[in-house]
Structure 1
């Protein structure tokens, strides 16, 4: 069992989260996505690292610039929970004017979801709960086992048998009893048969709203490090397919666009979402236990301006806890979200629940499919993502400690980048909005059994344009991996894929075609992040000449430490091709922005042919004067033989550029 720790060194692998050596995240004949610096000067002025700052005590507690101090506003947690029980935190007693356990009287009051009338329901259908009449007292030692109860409200008073005396503390906790989930599964399937666990893996889809790949790299370095320790595979060309969360989650969980979903099963927002074939229902039919949860009930993916679900959609459904605790104990509202519930982050509702579910299903040796999403910290603010960094690290380590990741494929991703704010007025900000982060952690046992499928996934993640449609097909393959991704099945399906060029959703276990375009992938022009408009330009145009000069200058910069090599000089420009971002990425359509010029040049001495892409970035000074900044994006290729021309150097890469002489 692998448990990442702070003391373990970062493993240097091909998955290392460093900029592409080629200057592009994706560089294929169908799509070119530039690899930009997370701290590029164009966006640096919008970036702050509030999570690493010191606490501001000037009254800005509800500002995004200040780390949320949930306990500081309402008091420390008097009661915490583990996977089965509640217990009093003795170190917090003094704050509540108690010196010993006998000075406080705590009880827990269970509550549960109540289904609305199927014939008469409205937007409140997914919000109905019912409290138990009894409040069960804690034991003398200050703890209480909750049995099969899933959701409880803790009520504490100063020592008294009078339940009408004022509360000194109120809190909410969720639990994940497998026995309750199993009963629901049996009821929905109509029998108690559970398929064998052999060759089946659990799936945990864990997401965070509005975090681009580059903002993840800026704001979540600790999470990044743990993912590297876990051997995570990063998706470099993961492109959103819709504007906000719902139209990006719908393809992930149904394989359809939002419009297709409306035609198939959800005619309007006043209708329940129960009738759609969500992915968790397909896994349930295969004997999986299922889970679903988000940390902001009022604006959650399936409930914002929607009815949501009439019947409980999954076996572990945390919405009753999230909604009730948000209503009764939510505070520290920052724009659209209450980032605190009682003494904890709202996100902790989900982090704690994920851990409890994963621990429970792992102990019970049950297969599990779950989708969990966090909105509160990142929905509205670019720089608040950092506040989730350390809590996510703790979650990942706790899940790893259960051993669950030995049998679980973890998909950690976002839906899109930040959709508003000053950064969106820049080209890079617009590009970031279209490119959310995404990672996959694959268990060693899965890699050993399906090496070809994993090899395809790694290649697609690093070198291809991908979308939520592809992730949907990938997850579907896990319904029956033996039939879908064994070596024989992959060979057959790969051949079939060649006959269906332009297929929208392609499993990442299959080889995605090199020439894939946004249109092929189901990405509308408005959301496409690929550079387009490639056209040849005359080799005598100023842009071509400038790009060729930048290329040769770069070669000579490489050669400076090698005095035995002769400086190169430009002889001729053989070809020049310019490509530009799509119009939708331009913050000011009439103003030029980043362009890439691919040039092939001949350099003397020796008739060397070099090929490279030169990135051209307009820079405007305070007076409005625009100048062009040129830099080689990535590597420079030598595309003709060099024989013994570089025999005087031993360094492999320098042999490509050196001509020995004085």
Structure 2
């Protein structure tokens, strides 16, 4: 019996150990204590040798967009259960019961033969007349040229926000537009028996006329060695504001399917570098960070933006025709809380057209934005302009950037209404030959930055991971197979807007010698805003960190986090620290006395949620916290580092406002303080 008893106790210990292991295993299998990620398996530990190794052949881990020792970006379900309640079908965009009464006959064939004197013709569509003119009543139409106002020498700050309307010239069935006509406003009226006149139709049309400076540029280009220019591609950017990669998949599946079927390359690890459109777009077109832009060319909010080192200036010097267009003038990239441009920044500049259309035409609003301008959707105006630019200069070199805000800035569901139209647009680019000689970049600046979906972890990821697709002409792929190979490799690497800038610089550097040497095309890397960034023509390093890509820790999606309790002393201290940082932002302003009179004192209502970084270093910990303040119910989110030794905190980047403030901050104009101020008058 003694022997049996001595064996029983060890057996009990073994059973107890097995039971504990089983409980712990079940705990993790059920997901408790795990970092929130797409793949529930535990994170592997990299050896020192693996961390130092940059291996382009390393297979991507299933469930991740990017996987390396320095960066693990989860690949989430676009219809994740945590956001399904926010996903709704989009109402169709119907701007008119009928089609447009007038249209422009474009001399496309003549332009293709370099016959730039061929005119544009404005026509009335006879098949639409009976829809607009009841009972065969007498009607008349006239058109007026819209031009950009000439800057006032004494006060030129309004140069980018004013336009002129010339005299409205009567026409009947059609009229040949003057050579300089770029934007025209059309009005049609019916004449009643009592001599009263009633407007039945108004619309605007944009053309791409042969401007003198453009003709001079084209003539100079033709005098050069044409074989050299044949080795240069044109560049076309089509931007959709505030659409994440996941939201594009959700709302525009036909477009996404079309792009994948036809050989477009998606950069799945494309991470934004700053908060909103302006700094993310400036990273692409100048290579500068926001702080560098302020030091270099935009010292104050009232300073015009003409003198920044836009890359389209360099393309222009190489003989490229340049164009820039954007909708929604009140919130456009270079004009929201800014002066804009004193002189047109590009050869073709759409802003006067949009300014006039918003004021002179009937508009339809959706989500507080003009989704229709006249009988045509705002998006359609931009897409037609892009097609006209691409068609007009399809045998010349051009650099064009078109940016669309109305469709997606305020509602993540609305893009679904234009899914088929965008698929059709990309088909049109193929049909008119654009894809034969043009690098096309279809992208966004960031995901949705506010709203209920943004309050979720999926929303946190989506804000930081916009979509981007790149088209490379087939002849270019054949001449440079290594470049295509690198781009395909870079699809699953961490990339940023600065890499796009470096790629544009590689296109600029092409010449007769370098086009035969791929290494020459990507030999110079790094921009002022990101010294370690690289052209996408070369292979992006496998083990790349957010710091290497110019991405601030607050915007970085490479790190793994796990949800923590909101009741601990440490996390409550972090929440109070974030509130104090918001208050200090208001106190740092030059006119802080006025600000304090206008803005209410904020107080912490609650710590909404907090996540802690997994595998933190022993010297510090990092947290992502969301707090709600009163008055106003503002939701703020911040990334905070806690130093263990002295228990102090450091803000990593800005404090984000993730719900809309609309009129809450109407009492101030500063674009940063607007996020934090709750006006006393509110």
TM-score (norm 1): 0.70
- The alignment partner of 1:505 has SS state of coil
2:506·2:522 contact (CA, 8 Å) conserved in 1?
no
Q: Corresponding residue for 1:466?
A: 495
1:195·1:286 contact (CA, 8 Å) conserved in 2?
no
- The alignment partner of 1:166 has SS state of strand
The Cα shift of 1:164 comes to 8.7
Report the CA distance shift for 1:455/1:305 in structure 2 as closer, same or farther (over 3 A).
Answer: same
2:525·2:532 contact (CA, 8 Å) conserved in 1?
no
Q: Corresponding residue for 2:74?
A: 34
Report the CA distance shift for 1:131/1:437 in structure 2 as closer, same or farther (over 3 A).
Answer: same
The Cα shift of 1:225 comes to 2.3
1 CA distance for matches of 2:449 and 2:378? Answer: 22
Q: Corresponding residue for 2:442?
A: 412
Q: Corresponding residue for 2:100?
A: 77
2 CA distance for matches of 1:350 and 1:97? Answer: 28
Q: Corresponding residue for 1:526?
A: 554
Q: Corresponding residue for 1:627?
A: none
Q: Corresponding residue for 1:508?
A: 536
Q: Corresponding residue for 1:348?
A: 380
1 CA distance for matches of 2:413 and 2:372? Answer: 17
1:132 equivalenced with 2:173 (yes/no): no
1:92 equivalenced with 2:122 (yes/no): no
Q: Which residues in structure 2 correspond to 1:471-550 (within 5 Å)? A: 471-482=500-511, 486=515, 488=517, 490=519, 503-532=531-560
Q: Which residues in structure 2 correspond to 1:607-646 (within 5 Å)? A: none
Q: Corresponding residue for 1:454?
A: 484
Out of 256, 260, 271, the residue aligned to residue 288 of structure 2 is: 256
The Cα shift of 1:135 comes to 1.1
Report the CA distance shift for 1:186/1:408 in structure 2 as closer, same or farther (over 3 A).
Answer: closer
2:218·2:319 contact (CA, 8 Å) conserved in 1?
no
2:521·2:537 contact (CA, 8 Å) conserved in 1?
no
2:231·2:515 contact (CA, 8 Å) conserved in 1?
no
Q: Corresponding residue for 2:275?
A: 243
Q: Corresponding residue for 1:283?
A: 315
2 CA distance for matches of 1:483 and 1:42? Answer: 54
Report the CA distance shift for 1:476/1:233 in structure 2 as closer, same or farther (over 3 A).
Answer: same
Report the CA distance shift for 1:293/1:145 in structure 2 as closer, same or farther (over 3 A).
Answer: same
2:502·2:533 contact (CA, 8 Å) conserved in 1?
yes
The Cα shift of 1:175 comes to 0.5
Q: Which residues in structure 2 correspond to 1:160-559 (within 5 Å)? A: 165-180=197-212, 182-183=214-215, 185=217, 196=226, 197-362=229-394, 365-460=395-490, 462-482=491-511, 486=515, 488=517, 490=519, 503-532=531-560
Q: Deviations over 1:151-182 (max 9, x none)?
A: 00112123699999332211111001235561
- The alignment partner of 1:321 has SS state of helix
- Give the stretch that moved more between structures: 194-203 or 218-227: 194-203
- The alignment partner of 1:261 has SS state of helix
Gaps of 5+ in 2: 1-59, 107-119, 563-612, 629-682
The Cα shift of 1:482 comes to 3.8
Q: Deviations over 1:228-255 (max 9, x none)?
A: 2431000100000111110110101100
TM-score (norm 2): 0.68
Q: Corresponding residue for 2:93?
A: 68
1 CA distance for matches of 2:180 and 2:459? Answer: 48
The Cα shift of 1:512 comes to 1.5
Report the CA distance shift for 1:391/1:236 in structure 2 as closer, same or farther (over 3 A).
Answer: same
Report the CA distance shift for 1:157/1:194 in structure 2 as closer, same or farther (over 3 A).
Answer: farther
Q: Deviations over 1:606-661 (max 9, x none)?
A: xxxxxxxxxxxxxxxxxxxxxxxxxxxxxxxxxxxxxxxxxxxxxxxxxxxxxxxx
Report the CA distance shift for 1:430/1:586 in structure 2 as closer, same or farther (over 3 A).
Answer: farther
1:427·1:585 contact (CA, 8 Å) conserved in 2?
no
2 CA distance for matches of 1:327 and 1:421? Answer: 29
RMSD in angstroms over aligned alpha carbons? 3.2
Gaps of 5+ in 1: 1-19, 51-65, 535-576, 590-662
- The alignment partner of 1:332 has SS state of strand
The Cα shift of 1:186 comes to 7.8
Q: Deviations over 1:521-572 (max 9, x none)?
A: 11101000102589xxxxxxxxxxxxxxxxxxxxxxxxxxxxxxxxxxxxxx
2:510·2:521 contact (CA, 8 Å) conserved in 1?
no
Counting matched residue pairs gives: 500
Q: Which residues in structure 2 correspond to 1:3-18 (within 5 Å)? A: none
1:45 equivalenced with 2:85 (yes/no): yes
- The alignment partner of 1:398 has SS state of helix
2 CA distance for matches of 1:128 and 1:392? Answer: 31
- The alignment partner of 2:86 has SS state of coil
- The alignment partner of 1:392 has SS state of helix
Q: Corresponding residue for 1:115?
A: 150
1:412·1:439 contact (CA, 8 Å) conserved in 2?
yes
Report the CA distance shift for 1:359/1:488 in structure 2 as closer, same or farther (over 3 A).
Answer: closer
1:483·1:489 contact (CA, 8 Å) conserved in 2?
no
